[in-house]
Structure 1
Amino acid sequence: MSDFISDFWSYYIAAIALAGIVWCVWLLFSQRKVAKAQGAVEDTGHVWDGDLRELNNPLPRWWMWMFLLACIFGLGYLVLYPGLGSYAGLLKFSTQGELAAHRQAAEKLQNSVYAKYMKMDIKQVAADPEAREIGQRLFLNYCAQCHGSDARGSRGFPNLSDHDWLYGGEPETIQQTITKGRNGVMPPFSAVIDAKLAGDVAQYVRSLSGLAYDPIRAARGEGAFKSTCAACHGANGKGNQALGAPNLSDNTWLYGSSESTIVEGILKGRNNHMPAHEEILTPERIRMLTAYVWGLSNAPEASR
C-alpha cells in the first residue's frame, strides 16, 4: 500500500475484502431460508436418460458448516495478517520481515563456516582449497557479471587475474575496493586539446608501450602529454595507483590501444564505477572474496 498517496485506497480495498466475506455469508443463509420455505424439493426441469431428473436440493449441512467456517477463517486471517488495505495485522507479519529472518538464520549458519577464516591472514585463506571454492561461488554470484566467470574482464572492466592493478593489488586494497567501491574518472580534454593534437598524443602514448607509432606525430604529442596528462599518469606514463590512473607504458588496456580509442578517451573522458558491496555482503563474505581475488594473480602459499 506504500505506492498509494491517499488513505482512501486503503479503506477501499479493506471494504471490498470485508464486503465479499459478508456477501458470502448472506448468500448462504438466504438460500437456506428459501429451501425451508419451499418445503418440497424444486424440480429444475432438467432430465437425462429418460428419468434422471435434476432437483434443487438444499445444501448438505456439513457443506454449509464448512462454507461458514471458511468465511470465519477468512475474517480471522484478515485480523492476524495484512490484507485489509494498509492494516498490518495483529501478528505484524510481512514478507520482507520473513525474508530478513531467513537471511539472518542463513548468515548465522554461514558465519560459523567463515569463523575460522576470519582469524587467518588473507594470503593464508587464499591458499585454503575450501576457502577458494567458497570465494569462487561468491565471485560467480556477485562479480562475474562485470569481470567474467574467468575474472579476465572485458572492455571497460579490469582483468583480475593478472598483475596489473589500477589501485593496487595488496589484500587490504582489494578489500577496500570491494567494500567501498571505486569511481574512476578520466576528465575530457576537448576544451584544451583539439582532435588533431589528441591524435598526436595518442601516438606518443602508443610509443610508451612499444606499439607501432609515427615518430613525428609522437614528438608533437609529447609536449601536450607532459603538460596535460603527466599530472595523473606521470611523466613516463607509469600511472598512479593512489589516483587509479592506469599505467600507459605496459600492454594492458582497459578500452583498447588503437589511436581512435585513445583519442576518444582524451577528448570525451572515461567514467568507470565499481559499486560498493558493504550493503550487499557481510564482512565475512567480503573477506572470502578478497582472498579469492588476490589468489587469482598470486600463487597460494600452500602450493609454492
Structure 2
Amino acid sequence: MSDFINNFWSMYVVALTLLGILGCLLLLIVVARKKVVSAADNTTGHVWDEDLRELNNPMPKWWMGLFVITVVFSLAYLAIYPGLGSYTGKLAWSQTGAYEKEVAKAQADLEPLYARFTSMPAQEMARDTQAMAIGERLFMNNCAQCHGSDARGGKSFPNLTDGDWLHGGTPEKIRETITNGRIGVMPPMAAAVGTADDVRNVAHYVLSLSGSPHDSVRASLGKSKFVACAACHGMDGKGNQAMGAPNLTDDIWLHGYGEAAIMNIVNNGKQNEMPAQKEKLTEAQIAVLASYVWSLSNKSGAAPQ
C-alpha cells in the first residue's frame, strides 16, 4: 500500500474489507434466524425428480460456531497484521522486515564459520580447502548465472579462468569488482573513425593486432584511423585496466569475433554491467568469493578443486 498517492485508495480498501466481513456476519445472522415452515414430514416442501425431498434440518451449531470464529479471527488478524489499506498493524510486520530478519539470523549463524577467514590473506585462503568449498557455493549461488557454472563465461560475460582481466586480476581488484560492481561503456566511435570504409579498415587493423585472419591492405589503411581508439586501448592496443578497456592483442573476444562483430561495436558502442554484491553478501563472504575467483586463473597457488 506504500505506493498510494493519497489516502483515498487506502480508505477504499479499508471500507471494502470491513464491509465484506460485515456482510458475512449479517448473512450468518439472517440464515440463523430464518425459519422455514415445515411440512408434517419435516421437509421444506421442495421436490426434485418426483420423489427427492429436502429435509428442514437446522445447520449444525458447530458449523455456525466455526463461521463466527472465522469472522472474529479475521478482525483480530487485520488488527495485528497489515491488510487494512496503509495500516501496518500492531506488530508492523512486513515481508521485507521478515526477510531482513532471516538474513540477519543466517549471517549471525554463519559468522563463526567465516571468522577464521577474515584476517587470512587471499593467496593463503585460496590454498584452504574449506574456504574454496565455501567460495564455490557462493559462486554457484551468485555468479554462475552470468559466468557459467564452470566460470568460463560466454558472449558478453567474461571468462574468469583465462587470466585476462578488464579491471585487473589481483585479489584486491577482484574483491573491489565484486563489492562495487562495474559498468563498462564503449561509446559509438564511427563518427570519430570516419567513413563506413574507414570503420571496416579499423576492424581489420584490430584483427591484425592479435594475429587473427585479416585483410592486410585494409589493416594498413586502418592503422592511422585507430588513433581514435588509442585513447582507451593505447596505441599498441594492449588496453587500459584503469579504464576497463580490453586488450585487443590477446585474441580473446568478449563480445564476438570477426569483422562484423568489431564493426558493430565501433558503430554502435557497447555497455556491460557487473552488479554490485555488497548488499547481498557480507565482507567476509566477498573476501572468500574473491579468493575463489582468483584461484580459478591461478591454479598453481590454489587448493585442489
**TM-score if structure 2 supplies the norm length?**
0.88
Instruction: Indicate the residue corresponding to 1:160 in structure 2.
Output: 160
> CA separation in 1, counterparts of 2:220 and 2:197?
13
Residues 126 and 302, structure 2, Cα contact 8 Å, conserved in 1? no
CA offset at residue 298 of structure 1?
Answer: 0.5
SS of the aligned residue for 1:241 comes to coil
Whether the 8 Å contact between 1:206 and 1:213 is mirrored in structure 2 is: yes
CA distance in structure 1 between the partners assigned to 2:229 and 2:27 by the alignment: 82
Q: Is the 8 A contact 1:10 1:85 kept in 2?
A: yes
CA distance in 2, matches of 1:61, 1:228: 87
Q: 8 Å contact 1:202–1:259 — kept in the other structure? A: yes
- The AA in structure 2 aligned to 1:246 is P
State percent identity of aligned pairs.
51
- Aligned counterparts of 1:135 and 1:41: Cα–Cα separation in 2: 79
The offset of 1:124, in angstroms, is 1.6
**Would you say 1:77 and 2:77 are equivalent positions?**
yes
**Paired residue type of 1:149:** S
CA contact (8 A) 2:174 2:294 kept: yes
Does structure 1 conserve the Cα–Cα contact (< 8 Å) formed by 2:295 and 2:301? Answer: no
Q: Does 1:211 align with 2:212?
A: yes
Instruction: Name the counterpart of 1:24.
Output: 24
Q: Which SS does the other structure have where 1:153 is aligned?
A: coil
Q: Distance in 2 between matches of 1:198 and 1:173?
A: 34
Q: Does the C-alpha gap of structure 1 residues 242 and 32 become closer, same or farther in structure 2, counting only changes over 3 Å?
A: closer
Contact 1:41 1:57 in 2 (8 A): no
Q: Which amino acid aligns with 1:216?
A: V
With 4-13 and 134-143 compared, the bigger mean Cα shift is at: 4-13
Contact 2:80–2:91, Cα closer than 8 Å, also in 1: yes
Instruction: Give the residue type in structure 2 aligned to 1:247.
Output: N
1:112 maps onto 2:112 in alignment: yes
| Cα shift at 1:257 | 3.5
> 3-state DSSP class of the match of 1:45?
strand
Q: 1:171 & 1:28 partners in 2: Cα distance?
A: 69
Distance, in Å, in 1 between the alignment partners of 2:303 and 2:85 is 61
Deviation at 1:50, TM superposition (A): 11
1:41/1:56 contact within 8 Å kept: no
**How many correspondences in the alignment?**
303
SS of structure 1 residue aligned to 2:126: helix
**CA distance change for structure 1 residues 199 and 107 in 2, over 3 Å: closer, same or farther?**
same
Q: Is 1:224 matched with 2:225?
A: yes
Aligned-pair CA distance for 1:173: 0.4
Aligned mates of 2:302, 2:142 — CA distance in 1: 27
Tell me the equivalent position of 2:89: 89
Query: For residues 18 and 217 of structure 1, do their structure 2 counterparts lie closer, same or farther at Cα, with a shift above 3 Å needed?
Result: closer
Q: Tell me how far 1:52 sits from its aligned partner.
A: 8.6
Q: What is residue 249 of structure 1 aligned with on the other side?
A: 249
1:289 aligns with 2:279: no
**CA-CA distance at 1:296 after TM superposition:** 0.3
Q: Return the offset for 1:33.
A: 3.6
Give 1:115-154 correspondences, 5 Å limit. Answer: 115-154=115-154
Contact preservation (8 Å) 1:14, 1:84: yes
Matched letter for residue 213 of structure 1: H
Q: Using the alignment, how far apart are the partners of 1:99 and 1:35 within structure 2?
A: 52
Deviation of 1:269 (Å): 2.2
- Contact 1:181 1:273 (C-alpha < 8 Å) held by counterparts: yes
Note the residue ranges of structure 2 that are not aligned, 5 or more in a row.
none
- Looking at structure 1, the residues matched to 250 and 279 of structure 2 have their Cα atoms a distance apart, in angstroms, of 35
Query: Which residue in 2 is equivalent to 1:195?
Result: 196
Aligned to 1:8: 8
| Cα distance change, pair 24–42 in 1 and its aligned pair in 2 (3 A) | farther
Tell me, in whole angstroms, the C-alpha distance in 2 between the residues paired with 1:189 and 1:109.
51
RMSD of aligned Cα (Å): 2.8
Pair 1:56–1:249, CA change in 2 (3 A) = same
Deviation at 1:166, TM superposition (A): 1.1
Deviation at 1:84, TM superposition (A): 1.7
Cα deviation digits, residues 23-71 of structure 1 (max 9, x gap): 3333333444444999x99521357999996432333444433332332
- The alpha-carbon deviation at position 214 of structure 1 amounts to 3.0
d(CA) in 2 for partners of 1:34 and 1:198? Answer: 88
Alignment partners' CA distance in 1, 2:116 and 2:108: 14
Q: Is the 8 A contact 1:209 1:251 kept in 2?
A: yes
Q: Per the alignment, do residues 89 and 224 of structure 1 end up closer, same or farther by CA in structure 2, a change over 3 Å counting?
A: same
After TM superposition, the structure 1 stretch with the greater mean CA deviation from structure 2, 87-96 or 24-33, is 24-33
Distance change >3 Å, CA 302–CA 220, structure 1 → 2: closer
Q: Report which stretch shifted further, 41-50 or 245-254.
A: 41-50
Offset of residue 275 of structure 1: 1.7
Query: What is the CA–CA distance in structure 2 between the aligned matches of 1:268 and 1:61, rounded to whole Å?
Result: 75
Unaligned runs of 5+ in 1: none
TM-score by length of 1: 0.88
